[in-house]
Structure 1
Amino acid sequence: MNKLSSFEADIRPLFTQRDIQAMSKAFNLASYDDVKTHAVEIFDRIRGIGGAVMPPPPPKGEGPWTQSRIDLFAKWVADGCPP
């Protein structure tokens, strides 16, 4: 089984309301178009490349993603960011 991940079912739920609010000045993590447009930048930041790792650790955020979440995002990007 190698089903494609979708933004609505698999990727959008990775972002908490806190994440969405924290990034709202830059782009909208709840928006497929914004996340697709900024996917490489988001992928770097969730791995701590190009700045502090996102999401930030408590009390400012929920803390870094698990490797499985990072892998899911990477697969979504590699699959061409399906909606």
Structure 2
Amino acid sequence: MPSPAGGDELSFERDIKPLFRAKDRDSMLSFFDLYDHSDVSKHADAIIGSLLTGRMPCDGTWPEEQLEKLQRWIDMGKPA
């Protein structure tokens, strides 16, 4: 379903959760669950900040299109 801005609507399950690998989730589980919508929503600003500065993930940076997708999801209000 298109958003009012003309882009596609994003969902956590379909679009955001798959961006995180099992090893990313395992690394962060003591803080929050990258596979849980409410946890990722609550920590979204810290997550995108860590990704943009290269602190996360520890084995390389995300491609620009993944960063843009996550930021767009945040800007859309973090839909489930």
TM-score, with length taken from structure 1: 0.86
Instruction: Say which SS state the counterpart of residue 26 (structure 1) adopts.
Output: coil
Moved over 6 A (4+): none
Aligned mates of 1:42, 1:75 — CA distance in 2: 14
Structure 2 counterpart of 1:56, from 53, 58, 64 = 58
How far is the alpha carbon of 1:8 from its aligned partner?
Answer: 0.3
Structure 1 counterpart of 2:67, from 70, 76, 81 = 70
Identity within the alignment, %: 32
Aligned mates of 1:47, 1:3 — CA distance in 2: 23
Structure 2 counterpart of 1:16, from 21, 37, 43 = 21
How far is the alpha carbon of 1:64 from its aligned partner?
Answer: 1.1
Aligned mates of 1:43, 1:54 — CA distance in 2: 9
Aligned residue-pair number: 75
**Over aligned residues, Cα RMSD in angstroms?**
1.0
Aligned to 2:3: none
Aligned mates of 1:45, 1:7 — CA distance in 2: 19
Instruction: Say which SS state the counterpart of residue 14 (structure 2) adopts.
Output: helix
Instruction: Say which SS state the counterpart of residue 29 (structure 1) adopts.
Output: coil
TM-score, with length taken from structure 2: 0.89
Cα offsets for 1:42-65 (capped at 9, x unmatched):
0100001xxx521012xxxxx210
Q: Which amino acid aligns with 1:34?
A: D
Q: Is there any run of 5+ residues in structure 1 with no aligned partner, and where?
A: 58-62
